[in-house]
Amino acid sequence: MDEFVARSLDEIRFWSRIMKEHSLFLGLGFRAEDTGLKNEANQFYAIFEDIERRSHEFQIGTDPHTIKNFNTEVSIAATKIWAFKRMVLGLILQCKLPGQTNFPLLVDHISREANYFRNRLDELNTGRLEPLPDAIIDENVFFLKIMADHAKFISHLLDPSERKLVDQAREFSNDFDKLVFQAIDLSSMRPQSQTVPLLSQFVDENLVSVKSLRDFKKTARDLIDECRIKSIIHPLLADHVFREAERFLFILDMFDQALSGAKVNKREILH
């Protein structure tokens, strides 16, 4: 059961920080008159900041029943922020917040991450584990779309005068759009497509592309921190997307080890 505790705390420590930052980014994009929405975003920031803080107070030896209850509490919070994000997306798409600066795709993107987070906690609590071949495809479909979105956000938030960087971001966007479609095709060919050679090639190709994007994000983050490029990218957003690429790489490395026959903790691979 230490394994269950470790995985639960790892997911909550990573994703609660992400949810907290989503609240900040949404708040920054609202208009001055959107006080109700700003207040709600601030409340979610406080909720996930508290969850993140409390997650670090638990240890590996904590009673699994305590962690199961914590998972349930956090899953409810993730569901609530998911609903808030979807409500905001509806307002934007109905043109009820003219002048706000959150891209509709960004709001959809962060709602998908909230949904992923709550599903992950529910899976941990119920002990439902996807078979490895399904986990490989499903995790890649999810994260490749996240990476493709990031590239699009970066290209749109860089100053237009940063022509070379904008072009690089667009190239990453095109590359990851293709990888998303490849993943969807592999998914639709299930279960016949789930052979070790095909899955191994799939993971290897994605590893190469994600490492390249991760390095680009790291460079962009450092340049933004040093005020060496022109953009409207918040320094925390630059670090945020870098951390998510690192997370995806960790998962891909686990899949790669599993497919190559290395002994890997199955729960770590799937969760």
Collapsing DSSP states into helix, strand and coil, what is residue 69?
Answer: helix
> Is 201 domain-assigned?
yes
H helices of the chain, in order, are 2-29, 35-55, 64-93, 104-126, 132-157, 163-188, 196-225, 235-259, 266-270
Which pLDDT tens digit goes with each residue over 122-177? Answer: 999 999 978 999 999 999 999 999 999 999 999 999 999 999 999 999 999 999 99
pTM over 0.85: yes
Query: In whole angstroms, what is the distance from residue 127 CA to residue 41 CA?
Result: 32
One domain for residues 214 and 165:
yes
Who's near 41: CB < 8 A, 6+ residues apart?
A: 23, 24, 26, 27, 30, 84
One domain for residues 104 and 202:
no
Q: In terms of Cα–Cα distance, which of 2, 55, 47 is closest to 24? A: 47
Q: In terms of Cα–Cα distance, which of 251, 252, 244, 250 is closest to 200? A: 252
Please state the separation of Cα 250 from the chain's center in Å.
13
**For residue 26, what are the domain limits?**
1-129
One domain for residues 86 and 134:
no
Which pLDDT tens digit goes with each residue over 76-104? Answer: 999 999 999 999 999 999 999 999 999 99
230: left (phi over 0), alpha (psi -120 to 50) or beta: beta
Task: Tell me the backbone φ, ψ of residue 158, rounded to 5 degrees.
Answer: -70, 150
What token pair was written down for 16?
């609660």
> Is 14 domain-assigned?
yes
Where are the strands (E) in 69-181, listed by range?
Answer: none
One domain for residues 4 and 88:
yes
Is the per-residue pLDDT at 271 higher than 90?
A: no
Query: In whole angstroms, what is the distance from residue 199 CA to residue 78 CA?
Result: 31
Which pLDDT tens digit goes with each residue over 14-56? Answer: 999 999 999 999 999 999 999 999 999 999 999 999 999 999 9
> Is 104 domain-assigned?
yes
Please state the separation of Cα 255 from the chain's center in Å.
18
One domain for residues 192 and 256:
yes
One domain for residues 5 and 123:
yes
The number of domains in the chain is 2
pLDDT score of 159: 98
What token pair was written down for 266?
């199955």
Place of tokens 């904008």: 166
Handedness of CA 87, 89, 93, 98 (dihedral sign): positive
Query: In whole angstroms, what is the distance from residue 269 CA to residue 169 CA?
Result: 30
> Is 270 domain-assigned?
no
Proportion of the chain above pLDDT 70, given as a percent: 96
One domain for residues 259 and 150:
yes
